[in-house]
Amino acid sequence: MIGIIVAGHGNFASGNLSSARLILGVQEKVIDVDFLEEDSTDTLKEKLINAIEQLGEEVVILTDLAGGSPYNNAVVLKKELTNCKIEVIAGTNLAMIITAMLDREGCMVEDMAENVVQAGMDGISVFHFSNSIQEVVDEDGI
């Protein structure tokens, strides 16, 4: 099973994983790495290394922002840790995290990363009223 790391500024990672767990329940081989205000970039790198070591040889790292410290450190580790297959993704949203959790068995880490990015793009939309909408159904949620 491919390991998943969600990393981002502040509580981006832990907050998003909290939401994903609410929807899917607790999942194996999923770790959040928060880059907190008091953390140095060296501390962040150590957190990422520890997470990768816990998860194994195949890991997808979902980060909040391309060019940000979590993303940059993940890219450096992808280059340095040649014994691991690491894919790094930026621009993470909840749809991407859920897709990663559901679609990580029996596939290559590179393919999983591409599927996760596509799910993220597919999950973004703008609501427009339409004449075909008759009634909004009130429900308890997902």
Distance CA 89, CA 116 (A): 9
Contact 88, 78 (CB under 8 A): yes
The pLDDT value recorded for residue 36 is 98
Q: Is the Cα dihedral 118, 120, 126, 129 positive or negative?
A: positive
Q: Which residues contact 67 (CB under 8 A, 6 or more apart)?
A: 90
Superfamily the domain 3-121 falls into:
Phosphotransferase system, mannose-type IIA component (3.40.50.510)
Contact 26, 88 (CB under 8 A): no
How deeply is 133 buried, as exposed, middle or buried, from its count of CB atoms within 10 A (0-12, 13-18, 19+)?
A: exposed
The domain segmentation of the chain, as residue ranges, is 3-121
The pLDDT value recorded for residue 109 is 98
* Phi and psi torsions of 123, nearest 5°: -85, 0
Q: Residue 94 above 90 pLDDT?
A: yes
Higher pLDDT, 134 or 45: 45
Whole-prediction pTM:
0.91
Confidence of residue 130 (pLDDT cuts 50, 70, 90): confident
Q: What is the mean pLDDT of residues 101-114?
A: 96
Chain CA centroid to CA 24, Å: 14
Contact 81, 52 (CB under 8 A): yes
Per-residue pLDDT tens digits for 69-79:
999 999 999 99
